[in-house]
Structure 1
Amino acid sequence: MSRKRLQLLVESLSRSAKHFTEGEVECLIKLFDALLAKSSSHFAVAGFNRTVFRDTLFSAFGMTDDAVLDRVFSTFDRDNNGCITVVEWVQGLAVLLRGTLEEKIKYCFTVYDLNGDGYISREEMFQMLKNSLIKQPAEEDPDEGIKDLVEIALKKMDYDHDGKLSFEDFEQAVRDENLLLEAFGPCLPDIKSRIAFEEKVFLETRKL
């Protein structure tokens, strides 16, 4: 990429991904290019594939849950073409690393709304909790415990009592109790890994 094209891309992305400075955007583009070089996908010209994305989130933030990683990939991959472009990468990380509460509520809701119908159903809660909870001893029926958790979540979060969570329900619940943001499984990096990632990636901007 020519210096001029890079500069235009940096300027455009620092406007759309408001939480980063131009120097930080440039660092993220460099990281994107390094990841792209790793990707053996036929998409490699446009972006990197699911495998590279999952490996990156695993090594950067310790995210291990396959189901959650697949959903995070889908929220980043806005045009739904199976690869992450540089624009999707920077805009996705803006929310993941520095998003406002409002942006994070939207992001988590999208991750948990598995079929994209605008609601988190009992089945979707069950699926997400089943994947994220530590396996219980064999003699206990884990499904029963998860069903109980789903009912507890609904009782606490389903404000209009229709047996599923709309975005409004979810938003209200999280605003009342911030800890409910990741109620159905961790899909945001913890503070420690977020700071470590930023320090490593944005090191160059601090030298300027």
Structure 2
Amino acid sequence: MGCFNSKSSKEVPRQENIRALASRTAFTISEVQALFELFKSISSSVVDDGLINMEEFQLAIFKIRRKENIFAHRIFHLFDVKGKGVIDFEDFVRSLHVFHPNAPTEDKIAFSFRLYDLKDSGYIERNEVKQMLVALLSESEMKLADEVIETILDKTFLEADINQDGRIDKDEWQKFVTSNPALLNIMTLPYLRDITITFPSFIFNSTVDEVVA
């Protein structure tokens, strides 16, 4: 069961909902309140309905509106926890939790696996890694020759695909990432630790105690 029962998140969340989100994530109560301001800004940028659609998500995160990008679509899909084609406030906070510097490494590993598992098959295949790598390079405005990309893929699967069945399962991915922790760098957004500094008014206007039951 989710914390929120309303169809949208235009209204300020109830105190018990804020406490619940804080207790289930790496965010404090003040940070959850600050995130609501960020959520409101994003969710009203195209259609003011209290929900974040794909266009609003791309515009806020990637500074693009309708450009096709596998990485952007995949992140949106994973943030859309309820599978409704939009992101509500609960989805937003619980998904961003994974990117918090204090979130458990296990959560980051699991999310990163799903990021590359484009077909939701429970395995990461070579073509999926290639699609995501090309998309990430595109976001960084970098280009690599196809033979360089293939060399990277060869090296990745040589190390990660332990049983050599041509795909990477969850256990193999965990071992691979543990041996190559830099792969999780994209799973941490340092500014999330200081979100209440970004929105300082929430520190002084908080109506909820910081003690989580």
Relative to the length of structure 2, the TM-score reads 0.77
Q: Cα RMSD over matched residues?
A: 2.6
Structure with the higher helix share, 1 or 2? 1
- 2:162 is paired with a residue whose SS is coil
For the pair 1:204 / 2:201, whether they are aligned, the reply is yes
Return the offset for 1:130: 2.2
Aligned to 1:139: none
Map of 1:1-208 to 2, 5 A cutoff? 6-17=14-25, 19-40=26-47, 44-45=49-50, 47-58=51-62, 66-98=69-101, 99-133=103-137, 134-136=142-144, 142-181=145-184, 187-188=186-187, 191=190, 194=192, 199-201=197-199, 203-207=200-204
| Aligned residue identity for 1:188 | M
Aligned length: 188
Write the distance in 1 (CA, Å) between the matches of 2:148 and 2:196.
38
Return the offset for 1:195: 5.8
Contact 2:31–2:196 at 8 Å: present in 1 too? no
| Aligned residue identity for 2:17 | L
Relative to the length of structure 1, the TM-score reads 0.78
Aligned to 2:208: none
Q: Structure 1: give runs of 5+ residues left out of the alignment.
A: 137-141
Write the distance in 2 (CA, Å) between the matches of 1:8 and 1:160.
48
Contact 1:65–1:132 at 8 Å: present in 2 too? no
Q: Structure 1 residues 119, 96: closer, same or farther in 2, change over 3 A?
A: same
State the Cα deviation string for residues 136-158 of structure 1 (Å, max 9, x = none): 4xxxxx22221221110001111
Write the distance in 1 (CA, Å) between the matches of 2:73 and 2:100.
18
Q: Structure 2: give runs of 5+ residues left out of the alignment.
A: 1-9, 206-213
